[in-house]
Structure 1
Amino acid sequence: MRRVLVTRAREDALRTAEELRRRGFAPLIAPVLEIVATGAPIPAENFDAILATSARAIRYAGEGLAALRGPFFVVGAKTAQALAARGARVEASAPDVAALTELLLSRFAAPSHFLYLAGRDRKDELESFLRSRGHAATIVETYEARAADALGEEAAAALAAEEVDAALHYSARSASIFFALADAAGAPETLRARVAHHALSEDVARVLRAAGCAHVRVAAAPDQASLLAALEAQ
């Protein structure tokens, strides 16, 4: 049975591990990030709309979320579900940020004021769009992904014994942190020479190649289903 290293934050890694077992793999959880709430307050103001691109931004928002009246424009079904769980109604949900910007373009022709609930480490795509259209954005970072201090003992031991066959990588940042922690733990060169490293996107793959990985595979689409499909095709 192939052993697969899962480098996601623990909550997500546990769900991925369950799916890997169902597909006949032996998962090895090695979280390199810890998701924590920032405690940042949500302003008691009126906004033309509230934006969120991840369910975590909602789950880690404080009590101030209850006072927001919307409308909410979000990315992803999970984000919409997280809002529904907190009693809020979603005006519209888009499949990705690009689709969200198209939606906002059609709904808000005049400069508007948005509240953007976000993570501390994020891409600038949505904010760049808002600036380019003359909108104002109040950004509240409700959570952050902190780098782990070390690899877990089980993962470090498996790497040392050369018992890892593949690794799943979900972001460029987490891939960089993983190799820093693996090197600090004294992982052998086989981690780069023999292990198959599966990347969620080309951005992640670039980090893996720069780290010297010989076997890098990129998911056909930036989602877990495609990532696991690539793993099964290995």
Structure 2
Amino acid sequence: MSKATPAKYTQDYLEQLPQDIKRHLTSYELAGDFGKVEEWRSSLAKKYTDIDVWAVEDLILTRWRIICRYEHAAGAAFSRFLNGLKQGKILGTKCNNCGRVMIPPRVFCEWCFTDVSDWVEHSGTGIVSTYSLSHIGTDPGVRLDKPVIVAVIWFENTFRTLASSKTVLHAGGILHRLDGVEPDKVNVGLRVKPVWKPFEERVGSILDIDYFTPLEAAGK
């Protein structure tokens, strides 16, 4: 096996550089020196910046995969919310000043600037505030014959409308999947309720709710 030369290392290094950096090097006539050890030594001996002068042996390309694993603390309020989902419960917090229920729960009301400590269990019923029909599933290269219905659900009693401007102020909503309804039957304002996964399949996740379905489809 032939021994790699400093010039070969340098060429490999520069071939991997972003285009803007390569253009910068080309402007200093460095790119034309590929494979010529002595010319590389001469070119790199010039001082183009305030950074210490490079040496040819420093320009060695190494490849590796960086694995970054992060852990995010859910916090006291959201942890209680997730534990509630595992039990088939939708928990929220209630502000005693303005009376609104916040789902997912928060321990501070940004409307009233007060701490919140009261917990309530919500039925899970709500309305569709907006929705989308997606013909793309987990494989972006395959078009689904029947679209997946994705909707933002506003839970009942978690929002209110200002009479003066008809502006909706909402405090509780999640993005989830609709099922048990045909796409052409979905509309903004449709009342829905959650359908839970079997208890043994729940893990303490928003996906413990399998989907939301119209109240009429649930026999209500």
Q: Which has the higher contact order (CA 8 A, sep 6+)?
A: 1
Q: Note whether the superposition's TM-score is higher than 0.5.
A: no
Higher strand share: 2
With structure 2 as the length reference, what TM-score do the two structures score? 0.19
Higher helix share: 1
With structure 1 as the length reference, what TM-score do the two structures score? 0.19
